[in-house]
Amino acid sequence: MTRTAIIAALPGELKNIVRGWRHERRNGVDLWHHRDDNLYVAACAGAGQAAATRAFAAVEQDAPIDLVFSVGWVGALKPSLATGSAHNVGGVIDASTGERFRCDAGAGELWLVTSPVVAGAEEKQRLAETYAASLVDMEAAAVARLAQMRGIPFYSIKGISDGFHDKLPDFNPFIASNGRFRIARFTLYALLHPGYWPALVRMGENSKRASLGIAASLADFLR
């Protein structure tokens, strides 16, 4: 029996995967459990590598992990990549250390770079030029590193919530030190800045489509 871990940053990234699964919250980590012929545990603890590490540890606390996925929303680093689309990642780069982690056999070709901050338009341009990557997130490198340390097969399926040229607010001031998104504070900020409303609506729709695509790709992969 295989025990598969599915690590994300936010519950919204997992909701189309974990519908009907048993939920619990443990030490600031949301966990969902499901069992059929195999065991599945999904976890999220917030944005950033430290939060992803806590989520991984919470899953590992109960039993060893046999297979791990990093899933969730990403920004596009190429104008040609469609928002709302989901992709099997071929490898992950840690922008903080320069480390590169290849996903296991059967993964895709696109490379993902993990940034310590939410990348805006200028940072996306810099990351694209520096790393020749296609996608950017904040968590996958931590999950890849932990999988490599344990000799666990690692895969990543990511969905594009924002395009290369999208002009969005700076989300970084609204991420707490523990990786949690300060939704009430951001909502107030957004209400006071109507110029961002169309872009935020588009991002919301993109995120919904991306979540569905992630769930479908994961289900296909596991079958």
Angle between helices 140-150 and 49-62 (to 10 degrees): 40
Name the pLDDT band for 106 (thresholds 50, 70, 90): low
Residue entry with tokens 């994300």:
8
Which CATH fold would you assign to the domain 3-222? Rossmann fold (3.40.50)
Residue 1 has pLDDT above 90, yes or no: no
Q: What is the mean pLDDT of residues 168-182?
A: 95
Answer whether 71's CB lies under 8 Å from 13's CB: yes
CA angle 69/148/144 to nearest 5° reads 40
% residues pLDDT > 90 (the chain): 95
For the stretch 54-83, pLDDT in tens is: 999 999 999 999 999 999 999 999 999 999
Tokens encoding 218? 């994961």
Distance in angstroms (rounded) separating the CA atoms of residues 223 and 217: 10
Hey, how many other C-beta atoms are within 10 angstroms of the C-beta on 219? 11
Q: What is the mean pLDDT of residues 23-32?
A: 96
Residue 185 has pLDDT above 80, yes or no: yes
Question: For 41, phi and psi rounded to 5 degrees?
Answer: -135, 125
Checking DSSP bridges between strand 86-94 and strand 100-102, what pairing results, if any? Answer: antiparallel
Answer whether 69's CB lies under 8 Å from 40's CB: no
Residue 109 has pLDDT above 90, yes or no: no
Q: In the chain, where does DSSP find H-type helix?
A: 11-14, 49-62, 121-131, 140-150, 183-191, 197-222
